Amino acid sequence: MNESNHHDVIVIGGGPAGSTVARYAAANGADVLVIDGRDPIGTPLQCGELVPSNDEMRRLCPNVPDMDELFRTPEDAISRRSTEMHIVPPSGKPLKFDFEGLVLNRVAHDEALVELAEENGAKYLVDSHVERVTGNQVIVRGGDTYTAKVIVGAGGHNDPLRRDHWDESSLKIPVKFVLMDGDFGEAVELHFGSMAPGGYAWMFPKSSGANIGLGIQRSFSKGISLNQYAKEFISKYDGDISFRGAGSLPMSGTIRTFVKGNYMLVGDAAGMVLPSNGAGITIAMIGGRIAGQTIAQHLSEGTALEEYEHRWDRQMGKVMRNSKRAFRVGSLLFRLPNWMLNLTFNRLTKGIIWRAVTCRRMFWIL
Ligand SMILES: Cc1cc2nc3c(=O)[nH]c(=O)nc-3n(C[C@H](O)[C@H](O)[C@H](O)COP(=O)(O)OP(=O)(O)OC[C@H]3O[C@@H](n4cnc5c(N)ncnc54)[C@H](O)[C@@H]3O)c2cc1C
């Protein structure tokens, strides 16, 4: 075997999860190769592009340390800063909340994460699709084989390591979105109800235009296609469409184990999306930092890789549990007819709804 094909760590996928694993593992002395099927990484766009500001992240995930060190979003990756979120029921009458959000240029955001990992010493192999992993071998399309002591699956919701070596399934919601030209105000909007059964719809204004889309649970959709729901929701907004995209989001939260022997999962591959609000980018990076640091300690000091799961649980366990619970309650609620749902979105329930969206306990028992 060619020496350059052997590494301490191979990371499958160079998205927010994989590039963050690579950044922290390499910064702490590991020899890391990231293999990604795309070139350039991050294209084509598959995202609504909203992340909470660092201050908002501190409120959302209070047990996660050093947010400013983790999230160093460069100015050119920020399209607009928003200070308000509207939660909109089918009536169209929003509940308004203070919310500091960054609407990203997601492609530039992911490029910056690749640069950060490279500055710390990680190497990238792009345009190389990983077909399968067996033992300590990662086999890419065309037959080239790479080996590593630790192999990380950060390939998103279709990650090959997860697919072949884990048998737990995740609920995935299919998503469609567009970039639309025009002026859409300041507030980011999340819409809940029959316009996006079992999921939600969004309108996130950018410096120019907006990112507009929705995701549904197919079991809620009464035979109507995602295309139809998307067409109907998007047609409420006025403007020329400059881009159309689609994807899929794991919405049942984290899976039971992230580590099997010398294999690890992180990001969407491990279900690291907060189901009550769809946040995946920042959560993948939180998981990525913990995984990268743990791998480096494993290689230098023999720390067990399972320590990654314990550290994740200490930092994110409570937030994820609350978010899963809110999603389950929401899924029941959103089966209600529109008129009842409209009644449940009111001044009295406003605080509870915000607690659910921001992953806090809604009531003392729930
Ligand atoms: C339409 C849509 C809208 C979204 N909107 C938001 C939002 O507004 N805010 C938010 O926080 N989150 C949003 N998300 C979720 C967010 O995009 C993900 O949670 C986040 O990207 C997860 O990062 P990741 O690194 O785990 O996976 P990804 O970003 O999916 O990266 C995976 C990488 O692995 C590579 N890869 C996959 N398979 C292979 C293979 N076999 N071989 C080699 N490389 C491979 C891919 O090319 C990709 O670069 C959205 C998701 C979708 C689909």
- Output Rg (C-alpha) for the chain, integer angstroms: 20
Q: Judge whether 52 lies within some domain.
A: yes
Closest atom of ligand 1 to CA, residue 213: 1
Q: Judge whether 190 lies within some domain.
A: yes
**252 Cα to the center of ligand 1, angstroms:** 16
CB of 70 shorter than 6 A to ligand 1:
no
Q: How far apart are CA 206 and CA 210, in angstroms?
A: 5
Q: Which residues contact 62 (CB under 8 A, 6 or more apart)?
A: none
Percent of the chain as helix, strand, coil, to the nearest 5: 35, 25, 35
CB of 129 shorter than 6 A to ligand 1:
yes
Whether the CB-CB separation of 192 and 249 falls below 8 Å is answered with: no
Mutate to test the pocket of ligand 1, among 57, 144, 249, 359 (most ligand atoms within 8 A of CB): 249
Number of structural domains found in the chain: 1
Helix (H) / strand (E) containing 102: strand 95-104
C-alpha 103, offset from chain centre: 14
Query: Which residue's C-alpha comes closest to atom 41 of ligand 1?
Result: 130
CATH number for the domain harbouring residue 13: 3.50.50.60
pLDDT tens for the chain, residues 1 to 366: 455 799 999 999 999 999 999 999 999 999 999 999 999 999 999 999 999 999 999 999 999 999 999 999 999 999 999 999 999 999 999 999 999 999 999 999 999 999 999 999 999 999 999 999 999 999 999 999 999 999 999 999 999 999 999 999 999 999 999 999 999 999 999 999 999 998 999 999 999 999 999 999 988 888 899 999 999 999 999 999 999 999 999 999 999 999 999 999 999 999 999 998 889 999 999 999 999 999 999 999 999 999 999 999 999 999 999 999 988 888 888 788 889 989 988 888 888 888 888 877 765 544
pTM of structure: 0.96
**Tokens found for residue 255:** 């899976």
CB of 112 shorter than 6 A to ligand 1:
no
**268 Cα to the center of ligand 1, angstroms:** 7
**pLDDT score recorded for residue 361:** 72
**pLDDT score recorded for residue 302:** 98
Q: Judge whether 256 lies within some domain.
A: yes
Q: Judge whether 366 lies within some domain.
A: no
Q: Judge whether 327 lies within some domain.
A: yes
Closest atom of ligand 1 to CA, residue 202: 8
Q: Judge whether 326 lies within some domain.
A: yes
Q: How far apart are CA 169 and CA 174, in angstroms?
A: 15
Half-sphere exposure of 169 (CA within 13 A, CB side): 3
Q: Judge whether 30 lies within some domain.
A: yes
Q: Judge whether 202 lies within some domain.
A: yes
Alpha helices (H) along 171-236: 226-234
**pLDDT score recorded for residue 362:** 63
Closest atom of ligand 1 to CA, residue 280: 19
What residues make up the domain containing 177? 3-357
